[in-house]
Amino acid sequence: MAAKTLMVQGTTSDAGKTTLVAALCRIYAKQGLKVAPFKPQNMALNSAVTACGGEIGRAQAVQAQAAKVELSVDFNPILLKPQSDKNAQVIIHGKVFSSMDAQDYHDYKTIAKQAVFASHQRLEQSFQRIIVEGAGSPAEINLRAGDIANMGFAEQADCPVIIIADIDKGGVFAHLVGTLALLSETEQARVVGFVINRFRGDIKLLESGLTWLEERTQKPVLGVIPYIHGLHIAAEDAVSEQQQVTQAKLKVIVPVTPRMSNHNDFDALRVHHEIDFQFIYASELKATTLPPADLIILAGSKNTRADVAFLKQQGWDQQIQKHLRYGGKVFGICGGYQMLGQTIADPFGIEGDKGETSGLNILPMSTVLSADKTLKNQQGTLTLAGKNITVQGYEIHLGITEHFSAMTPLLSINNQTQGAISEDGQVAGCYLHGVFDQADAIDTLALWCGASLQNSQNLEEIQEQAIEKLAYVCQAHMDIDKLEHILQQWRNS
């Protein structure tokens, strides 16, 4: 028997689609059902690597953890990774297909749809529930033609749809009624209910509005989910809000660049109660100075040459040099590691225009980007601060980095060295994402910076606690029985 498919769409981006899908995946998994997350088309710079070496959105990896299943490229058949404001790398079933501008991809959607439904059909044969996450809003009029991310998928798959809205931003009734009104009659008919997210206050004050909404739309409100404080779950793409720390032993900053990717590398650092962690944004109105810190981390990038040029435009390259002169530490991950070198060359125009860009010239090395993308889950040994720590992570990168002089390697993976530590011990970097997802590695990083931490946690444990809390709250505040009745009564074509 084919799986029951349920789709979650949102009135806006960041309405709560990702977290609701994760919650439902865990709720159904705890009921003993085999459940799969699914996002037909995802535009995100945070990604994960499957066991077969495919690339999918990071949010689907967290949802798979919630569902207690191994990662599959079928969970996210189309992944778009923006390289500029007009161009994106198109990844199909985990592998790079091409780079396209918006118009080219719009024309290509009819072919991309085949990949989407091939994945959905495979999941139907292997799972009992498929919980689908939409993208953005289904009411984007300019994107309706050839849509495969929202109602275009739901119509062809003939699945029921829940619409979720964020009340914390205001205008929740206008968002829900307006979104419904902009759908076609057949699309409206498959909307089986609403969920209101991030509610604060006395629910009695909202009840008259809920009654009005149900009478106006003839659709039930399936739940009002309260604002969950301290929920540390991976964001799909938006940078998460800052953690407030009162007794910090370590100050870490990450300069934010336009094409920063995989900022989830910092999730375990960001929520640590002894680490003052900050993302630093450049102001468009005035020069932005990097604040004093023990450690500056340069993140990954989907367009490394453009992002290192951005760092220089802000004057942050000079501020990083000053930081080093005063004894601070610098760590680069993936694209950030490439930035530490002398040059970054893109002879084939893989990430943008062909050419070569000067790096920060901190480490004696250079990088050449190539068409072949490295996609691997890895386990190795991190050597830092006199410690040898076992770490796990994943590589997602283009290019080969060549060292011009002997440097101490940072990692040993499969009896091969990777990354580097500068001669003075102040600068380090590597290609391994997730290197600081482990508690031992966090403690070692702190020791390298002259600090000693306590009670560090593995990111997987942090995520697991968040998923359990999310599922508990959603089950308590949603009518799961009514939702199950709707699913059982829905007749798939």
Active site residues: 334, 433
Contacts made by residues 271-274, CB under 8 angstroms, sequence distance 24+:
271/232, 271/243, 271/462, 272/243, 272/442, 272/453, 272/456, 272/457, 273/245, 273/247, 273/455, 274/245, 274/247, 274/248, 274/249, 274/250, 274/451, 274/453, 274/454, 274/455
User: What is the rounded distance in angstroms from the CA atom of residue 325 to the CA atom of residue 188?
Assistant: 62
Element (H, E) at 41: strand 41-43
- Please answer whether residues 332 and 298 qualify as being in contact, where contact means their C-beta atoms are separated by less than 8 angstroms: yes
- Please answer whether residues 458 and 268 qualify as being in contact, where contact means their C-beta atoms are separated by less than 8 angstroms: yes
- Please answer whether residues 463 and 65 qualify as being in contact, where contact means their C-beta atoms are separated by less than 8 angstroms: yes
Find how far residue 387's CA is from the centre of its chain: 30
Cα distance from N-terminal residue to C-terminal residue, the chain: 13
Tokens describing residue 192: 């089986």
How many Cβ atoms are within 10 Å of 160's Cβ, its own excluded? 20
Q: Which residues contact 35 (CB under 8 A, 6 or more apart)?
A: 24, 25, 28, 29, 67, 69, 127, 128, 129, 130, 131
Q: Which residues contact 237 (CB under 8 A, 6 or more apart)?
A: 43, 44, 45, 46
- From 53, 108, 42, 102, select the one nearest 78 (Cα to Cα): 42
- From 215, 259, 206, 208, select the one nearest 237 (Cα to Cα): 259
Query: What's phi and psi for 346, nearest 5 deg?
Result: -130, 75
Q: Which residues contact 41 (CB under 8 A, 6 or more apart)?
A: 77, 78, 79, 80, 112, 116, 135, 148, 149
Q: Which residues contact 281 (CB under 8 A, 6 or more apart)?
A: 256, 288
3-state secondary structure of 45: coil
3-state secondary structure of 295: strand
